Amino acid sequence: MTVYSKLPDTELTTLLKDGDQHAFTEIYNRHWKLIYAHVYKMLRDEDDAKDVVQEVFGNLWLRAASIKSATNVSGLLYIAARNKVFDLIGKNKVRADYIGEIASFISDSSNAQVDTIDEKRILEILEREIQKLPPKMREIFELSRKDDLSHKEIATKLNISEQTVKKQVQNALKVIKPKLNDMGISIAFLLLLR
Of 45, 18, 15, nearest to 27 by C-alpha is: 15
Q: Is 127 helix (H, G, I), strand (E, B) or coil?
A: helix
Q: How confident is the model at residue 93 (pLDDT cuts 50, 70, 90)?
A: very low
CA gap 35, 20 in Å, rounded: 21
Domain architecture of the chain: domains with CATH = 4-106 (1.10.1740.10), 119-191 (1.10.10.10)
Q: Is 131 helix (H, G, I), strand (E, B) or coil?
A: helix
Percent of the chain with pLDDT over 90: 26
Of 184, 154, 185, nearest to 169 by C-alpha is: 154
Q: What is the pLDDT of residue 84?
A: 87
Residues 155-171: tens digit of each pLDDT: 998 999 988 888 888 88
Q: What is the pLDDT of residue 118?
A: 53
Residue 30: pLDDT above 90?
Answer: yes
DSSP letter string, 77-123: HHHHHHHHHHHHHHTT-S-GGGGGGHHHHHS-TT-TT-----HHHHH
**Distinct helix (H) and strand (E) counts, the chain:** 10, 0
Strand intervals (E) in the chain: none
Q: What is the pLDDT of residue 128?
A: 82
Residue 122: pLDDT above 70?
Answer: no
Chain-wide mean pLDDT for the chain? 77
Q: Among the listed ranges 17-26, 72-81, 110-119, which one has the minimum average pLDDT value?
A: 110-119
Q: What is the pLDDT of residue 111?
A: 47
CA gap 99, 188 in Å, rounded: 15
Mark 54-87 as b/e (b = at least 16 C-beta within 10 Å).
Answer: eebbeebeeebeeeeeebebbebbbbbbbebbbe
CA gap 91, 185 in Å, rounded: 21
Q: What is the pLDDT of residue 33?
A: 93
Residues 163-192: tens digit of each pLDDT: 888 888 888 888 777 766 655 554 334 344
Residues 1-10: tens digit of each pLDDT: 789 999 999 9
Mean pLDDT of 95-115: 49
Q: How confident is the model at residue 101 (pLDDT cuts 50, 70, 90)?
A: low
Q: How confident is the model at residue 90 (pLDDT cuts 50, 70, 90)?
A: low
Q: What is the pLDDT of residue 95?
A: 45
